Amino acid sequence: MTAKWMSVAEIKQKIGESSAEEVTADYLEAIKKSKINGYVTVSDRALEKSKEIDSEGHKGPLAGVPIAIKDNISVQGLPNSCGSRMLENYVPPFNAHVIEKLIEAGAVILGKTNMDEFAMGSSTESSYFGPVLNPWDLERVPGGSSGGSAAVVAAGEAPFALGSDTGGSIRCPASFCGVVGLKPTYGAVSRYGAVAYANSLEQIGPLANNVEDIAVLMDVIAGHDARDSTSVPEEKTDYQAALKDDIKGLKIGVPKEYFGEGISPGVEKAVWDAIHHCEALGASWEEVSMPHTKYALASYYIIAMSEASSNLARFDGTRYGFREAGETWHSLISKTRAEGFGDEVKRRILIGTYALSAGYHDKYYLKALKVRTLVKQDFEKALSKVDVLMAPTMPNPAFKVGEKIEDPLALYLSDVNTVPINLAGVPSMSVPCGFTDGLPVGLQIIGKPFDEPTLLRTAYTFEQNTDYHSRRPPEVA
């Protein structure tokens, strides 16, 4: 039996019975047959690495377990393209902190997954390497920006994956592809080695076919790293210990603002069904209000684009990456950036530059920071009364490839339920909670800072009592 779609526990059992090599070979075989363009780079070293694990008898918690890595997380020796022409041939000379942890744990890196260019997008259509297709409907987008990571997990081309989430980039594709995704609390996972889009907002996080595997991965990647000053020196959390099938007494808040105009009826129904299901499992729910939600989107985009305009300044063709020759350094850098970046990246750099410019800084950037504080206070207030918040991850199921790419504003608007979480820095999960017109719907569970255990317990309980997570996309099965 192929290892495709197996849980980590099942894979470990299979490795014990046969070999890590066989498991990795199964996944490489699935990748070879792929229809979804999920990987930018498949590692030539994966099979060799799995053989090493077999021969050395690695004792790590992920010994021989394959994993896919979003292409903005540095893996030494593999290109780190960030979905961009700019970094198509950039190979980092160092490993991200999370990659060090994975290697220590014995994981086998299958390859680097496709993504929106520099993580800017919600559809993975802005990748220089072409769009990723949704395994549930090959005419649709997988969400983004970690669309590759979500799609390969859904398609059985990796048991689990790492993504990054700046404004929903893990949760959105998890929701569209029917997999589980977690954006950890800001500071829970080191960002060292992840290419920054908007530093103050983003976190690396796991995507998997089930909640247990999310916890397994968190136990490996989370924890303090002195190389990331924003990494919080919390005591080590035992994420797997949180996996209990029990939410009796759990208080759920339902923010009415997250069910606003434009929400698809199918999504609304699936999410309410899930909330009621939790009620049936012993939880209680109440409506809560988060009045600043409507300003979150504008605040998010101003902050993210402002930070991005600075973060992406280093790509100037001088030291590494794409270079277009020029007569002078100024013409070199202009041409390099004109040719090396795609439209969406340029749009965000321009808007961010504008928002930070003298005369506009206070009007836009500073105001956005003030709104951010208010949004954060909304969460503090709401989460002082309830244990978790539940809402739709995305207001709609996956849309068609090309449907929104020409209308950036419509695309930005679809992030309305995910970006407030990044502004507040709180943890949030998306778990499969149903289908509408054959497309997966994601339930978003939001928690208090560093209360991932409660999120995991809630998600686990819901998963144990439903079967959405075990359904497989027919087109790639």
**Site for another protein, rule CB under 8 A:** 72-74, 80, 82, 87, 90, 92-94, 96, 191-196, 198-200, 226-230, 306-307, 309-310, 312-316, 318-320, 329, 333, 353, 356-358, 361, 365
**Annotation marks residue 169 as catalytic:** yes
Closer to another protein by Cβ: residue 64 or 167: 167
What is the 3-class SS of 350-402, one letter each residue? HHHHHHHCCCCCHHHHHHHHHHHHHHHHHHHHHHHHCCEEEEECCCCCCCECC
Which of 278, 57, 38 has its CA nearest to residue 177?
Answer: 38
**Annotation marks residue 70 as catalytic:** yes
Q: Is 433 helix (H, G, I), strand (E, B) or coil?
A: strand
Closest approach, Cβ 439 to another protein, in A, equals 34
**Annotation marks residue 145 as catalytic:** yes
Catalytic residue among 50, 169, 190, 306: 169
Closest approach, Cβ 295 to another protein, in A, equals 20
Closer to another protein by Cβ: residue 165 or 307: 307
- Listing DSSP states for 95-148 in one string gives --HHHHHHHHHT-EEEEEE--SGGG--SSS-S-TT-PPPBTTBTTB---SSSHH
Closer to another protein by Cβ: residue 177 or 421: 421
Q: Note every long-range contact of 367-372, with CB atoms under 8 Å and residues 24 or more positions apart, other chains counting.
A: 367/299, 367/302, 368/298, 368/299, 368/300, 368/302, 368/303, 368/306, 369/299, 369/303, 371/292, 371/295, 371/296, 371/298, 371/299, 371/423, 372/299, 372/303, 372/423
Closer to another protein by Cβ: residue 87 or 390: 87
Closer to another protein by Cβ: residue 247 or 355: 355
Closest approach, Cβ 23 to another protein, in A, equals 29
Catalytic residue among 70, 112, 404, 448: 70
Q: Is 12 helix (H, G, I), strand (E, B) or coil?
A: helix
Closer to another protein by Cβ: residue 333 or 443: 333
Q: Could you tell me if 156 and 472 are in contact, meaning their C-beta atoms sit under 8 angstroms apart?
A: yes
Closest approach, Cβ 393 to another protein, in A, equals 25
Which of 211, 128, 116 has its CA nearest to residue 168?
Answer: 116
Catalytic residue among 145, 175, 190, 428: 145
Closest approach, Cβ 309 to another protein, in A, equals 8
Q: Could you tell me if 427 and 183 are in contact, meaning their C-beta atoms sit under 8 angstroms apart?
A: yes
Closest approach, Cβ 229 to another protein, in A, equals 5
Active site amino acids? 70, 145, 169
